[in-house]
């Protein structure tokens, strides 16, 4: 059975004296355990709204989100809160996703103790240090604040925070688009490794097809709030069937042969 | 710090993760403090204000009684006995200035404290919960802001001065407090009350605006995703990030409140003679402007100096705290 199932999910935003904005308009998806699903589409097509709807940060207008056999959309807020540890999110902008007034220690301690409230003292330090090493950060920077790190390092902290509650599903919302190209591949490799090591399931959102192709097993193409094409990464890249996918592929800049 | 730490591993094989071995981070507060240290005007202002406070709240206890009259020795020139001479009632001017400073500075600090406590909580709740709660809370603020401040103070003073006299009597009778001290304390209570009642309104608006923008930030979404309670998100992630502008605003309100106290006392609506405050001293001094101008000028100097210092301090804090994104 699929680990995450979206059935006809809709998120509309009401607009005064006008038609509502249909940010997510009837999305149905199934994601297997251990799979990385790439979600691509141009800016404004509803990718981020979809991720926040799955994360239960925005209430859907209609449809269902089923995680591991439990229908999240049927729960009340406190029941959702108890299950939040199982699904975590990595945000686009590592400059905005970390509380500027909290050290790495406080940020990670708070995240760790959601799953293990009994963690204290040396054990807590050790757990944080292990987490930092796992994402490739030197634990000696445990007492530093976000503004003292580079963008790539901040994204590593954000990844560590998302991993701290031991989630099963991680939604990465354009985790590399705010980073330098040289850092992008490091973060991509880190994420790929983590998914394999920790047996995670991941939805990887991006507007960059080449990035998604590298990391994802399957790719879903989103356009105006709908999934227009879904397929195995290589197959979809080589042999797109929907017009919009072809357009997206054609938009990848290429160095042409002079000949 | 080292910019390329991607590959650095912690000391091989050594697993002593004691925090003391970690590099010490520099918080935004510390950064701001260091930045302000370079602002000479702000530091001098801070020192001036601290010295004034030490004089008024420390040294004053060793001075003469500021209320003790001696009509045989009025308008005395400065001497070893009376450092700055005496006033129209033969009271020691130096002592009166310091005791007056106690009242004025206390009014400023306490009213600001009340305003910050109410304003931050009110504004944060209003902005965080939004919707109908926000609408009701903000319309209340609008309504209160539209009431003329001076009028309310006059009414309050009329209503509460009776009350403060009775309270004073009651405290002296039941708790056995020193009568003069109690009188002095309850005399300024209506003033505190009035200032506190109105002081928080603007701050509530500032904090609400801050919270409105902060609650859309990704780190707040991240905190919610962790399953933290709403109150924890508000108090741990949102409110600490509103404190920068709050501190600046608060520092600039203290002189504002001191000014209000002086204005109201001058108009006979605040502290009453023989109790002392900077407003009272200026009022009394103004009566003898032609014959004995030092009665107005001397308290005026300390008064202006304090206001200048607090305003420069506020400006310095704003410069130090408002370098948003300079490190990004």
CA distance A13 to chain B (A): 16
Q: Which residues of B touch A97 (CB under 8 A)?
A: 218-219, 221-222
Size of interface A-B (CB pairs under 8 A): 121
pLDDT tens profile B176-211: 777 777 777 777 777 777 787 788 999 999 999 999
CA atoms of A229 and B55, how far apart (whole Å)? 77
Least trusted range by pLDDT, from A182-186, A245-249, A250-254: A250-254
Contact status, residue B50 vs residue B103, Cβ threshold 8 Å: no
Strand order in the sheet with A226-232: A87-90, A169-173, A201-206, A36-40, A218-223, A226-232
Query: Domain limits at A212?
Result: 4-42+53-218+229-250
Q: How confident is the model at residue B11 (pLDDT cuts 50, 70, 90)?
A: very low
Location of structure tokens 């790539």? A152
Q: Residue B128 in contact with residue B215, Cβ under 8 Å?
A: yes
Per-residue DSSP letter, B76: P
pLDDT of residue B59: 86
Q: Phi and psi of B38, rounded to 5°?
A: -85, -10
State the pLDDT confidence band at B15, using cuts at 50, 70 and 90.
low
Between the CA of residue A157 and those of A101, A212, B236, what are the distances in Å? 14, 22, 19
Q: Find the closest chain B residue to A107 by CA distance.
A: B223
Backbone angles phi, psi at A68, to 5 degrees: 50, 40
pLDDT digits (tens, 9 = 90+) for A128-173: 999 999 999 998 888 889 988 999 999 999 999 999 999 999 999 9
Q: Do B9 and A138 touch (CB under 8 A)?
A: yes
Mean pLDDT calculated for residue range B48-71: 87
Mean pLDDT of B27-37: 84
Contacts of B23 in chain A (CB under 8 A): 140-141, 143-144
Average pLDDT over residues A3-22: 90
* pLDDT value at B6 more than 60: no
Q: Is residue A138 part of a domain?
A: yes
What is d(CA B112, CA B94) in angstroms, rounded to the nearest whole number? Answer: 27
User: Which of B218, B236, B321, B327 should we substitute to test contact with A (largest number of A Cβ atoms within 10 Å)?
Assistant: B218
**Residue A259 domain-assigned (yes or no):** no
Give this complex's ipTM. 0.88
Shortest CA distance from A156: residue in chain B: B6
Indicate the average pLDDT of chain A. 90
Instruction: Say how far residue B153 (Cα) sits from the centre of its chain.
Output: 19
Taking residues A68-81, report their average pLDDT.
88
> Residue B301 to residues A259, B75, B101, B176, B308: CA-CA distances in angstroms?
86, 19, 12, 38, 10
Buried b (16+ CB within 10 A) or exposed e, B74-100: ebbeeeeebebbbbbbbbbbbbbbbbb
Higher local confidence (pLDDT), B11 or A25: A25
Q: At B326, is the pLDDT very low, low, confident or very high (cuts 50, 70, 90)?
A: very low
Contacts of B222 in chain A (CB under 8 A): 89, 91, 97-98, 158, 161
Which of B17, B19, B237, B327 to mutate against chain A (most A CBs within 10 Å)? B17
pTM of the full structure: 0.81
- Asked if B218 reaches chain A (Cβ–Cβ under 8 Å), the answer is yes
Domains of chain B in sequence order: 31-65+83-321 (1.10.3720.10)
Band the pLDDT of B5: cuts 50, 70, 90. Answer: very low
Tell me if residue A44 falls in helix, strand or coil: coil
**Which CATH number does the domain housing residue A153 bear?**
3.40.50.300
Residue A158 resides in a domain: yes
pLDDT at A209: 86
pLDDT above 90: percentage of residues in chain A: 53
User: Under an 8 A CB cutoff, do A147 and B328 touch?
Assistant: yes
Instruction: Note whether B225 contacts A: Cβ–Cβ < 8 A.
Output: yes
Contacts of B7 in chain A (CB under 8 A): 136
Q: Is residue A115 part of a domain?
A: yes
DSSP A84: G
Q: Is A144 contained in some domain?
A: yes
Number of domains in chain A: 1
Closest CA to B112 of B104, B316, B156, B45: B104
Flag if B25 and A96 touch (Cβ within 8 Å). no
**Which residue do the tokens 């190209």 mark?**
A181
Minimal C-alpha gap between A129 and chain B (Å)? 7
Is A110 within 8 Å of B24 when comparing Cβ atoms? no
Q: Choose, out of B22, B238, B322, B328, the residue to mutate when testing the contact with A (most A CBs < 10 Å).
A: B22
Pure H helices in chain B: 28-37, 40-57, 93-129, 131-146, 149-175, 179-214, 218-225, 230-232, 243-266, 278-287, 294-321
The answer to whether residue A48 is domain-embedded is no
| Radius of gyration of chain A, Cα coordinates, nearest whole angstrom | 19
The shortest C-alpha distance from A259 to chain B (Å) reads 41
Backbone torsions φ then ψ of A227, nearest 5 degrees: -85, 115
Q: Specify the pLDDT at position B16.
A: 61
* Structural domain contains residue A256: no
Q: Would an 8 Å CB–CB cutoff place B68 in contact with chain A?
A: no
- Asked if the structure places residue A159 within a domain, the reply is yes
pLDDT tens-digit series, residues A88-116: 999 999 989 999 989 999 999 999 999 88
DSSP B165-180: HHHHHHHHHHH---HH
- In this predicted structure, the answer to whether residue B21 has a pLDDT above a threshold of 90 is no
């Amino acid at each position: 059975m699929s680990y995450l199932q979206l059935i006809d999910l809709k998120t509309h935003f009401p607009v005064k004296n006008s038609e509502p904005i249909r940010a997510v308009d009837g999305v149905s998806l199934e994601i297997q355990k251990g799979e990385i699903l790439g979600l691509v589409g141009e800016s404004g097509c509803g990718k981020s709204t979809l991720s926040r709807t799955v994360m239960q940060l925005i209430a859907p207008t209609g449809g269902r989100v089923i995680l591991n056999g439990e229908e999240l959309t049927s729960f009340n807020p406190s029941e959702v809160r108890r299950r939040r540890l199982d699904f975590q999110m990595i945000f686009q902008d590592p400059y905005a996703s970390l509380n500027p007034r909290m050290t790495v220690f406080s940020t990670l301690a708070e995240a760790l103790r959601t799953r293990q409230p009994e963690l204290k003292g040396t054990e807590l330090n050790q757990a944080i240090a292990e987490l930092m090493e796992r994402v490739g950060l030197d634990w000696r920077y445990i007492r530093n604040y976000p503004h003292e790190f580079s963008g790539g390092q901040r994204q590593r902290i954000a990844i560590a925070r998302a991993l701290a509650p031991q989630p099963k599903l991680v939604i990465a919302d354009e985790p590399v688009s705010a980073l330098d190209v040289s850092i992008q591949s490091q973060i991509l490799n880190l994420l790929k490794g983590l998914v394999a090591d920790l047996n995670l399931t991941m939805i990887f959102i991006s507007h960059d097809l080449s990035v998604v192709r590298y990391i994802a097993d399957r790719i879903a193409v989103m356009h105006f709030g709908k999934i227009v094409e879904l397929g195995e990464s290589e197959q979809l890249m080589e042999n797109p069937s929907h017009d919009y996918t072809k357009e997206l592929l054609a938009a990848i800049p290429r160095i042409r042969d002079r000949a | 710090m080292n910019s390329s730490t991607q590959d650095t591993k912690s000391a091989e094989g050594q697993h002593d993760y004691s925090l003391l071995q970690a590099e010490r981070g520099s918080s935004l507060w510390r950064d701001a403090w260091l930045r302000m240290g370079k602002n000479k005007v702000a530091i001098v202002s801070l020192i001036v204000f601290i010295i004034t406070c030490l004089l008024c709240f420390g040294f004053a206890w060793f001075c003469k009684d500021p209320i003790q009259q001696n009509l045989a020795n009025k308008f005395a020139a400065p001497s070893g006995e009376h450092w700055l001479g005496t006033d129209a009632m033969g009271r020691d001017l130096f002592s009166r200035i310091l005791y007056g400073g106690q009242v004025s500075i206390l009014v400023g600090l306490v009213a600001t404290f009340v305003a910050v406590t109410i304003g931050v909580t009110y504004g944060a709740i209003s902005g965080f919960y939004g919707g109908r709660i926000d609408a009701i809370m903000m319309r209340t603020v609008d309504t209160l802001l539209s009431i003329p401040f001076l009028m309310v103070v006059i009414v309050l003073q009329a209503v509460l001065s009776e009350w403060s006299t009775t309270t004073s009597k009651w405290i002296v009778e039941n708790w056995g407090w020193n009568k003069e001290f109690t009188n002095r304390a309850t005399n300024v209570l209506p003033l505190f009350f009035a200032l506190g009642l109105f002081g928080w309104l603007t701050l509530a608006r500032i904090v609400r605006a801050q919270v409105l923008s902060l609650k859309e930030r990704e780190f707040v979404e991240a905190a919610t995703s962790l399953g933290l309670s709403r109150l924890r998100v508000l108090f741990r992630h949102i409110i600490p990030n509103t404190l920068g502008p709050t501190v600046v605003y608060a520092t600039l309100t203290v002189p504002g409140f001191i000014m209000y106290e002086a204005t109201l006392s001058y108009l006979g609506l605040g502290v009453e003679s023989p109790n002392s405050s900077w407003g009272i001293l200026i009022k009394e001094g103004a009566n003898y402007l032609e014959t004995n101008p030092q009665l107005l000028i001397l308290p005026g100097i300390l008064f202006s100096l304090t206001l200048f210092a607090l305003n420069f301090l506020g400006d310095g804090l704003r410069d130090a705290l408002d370098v948003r994104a300079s490190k990004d």
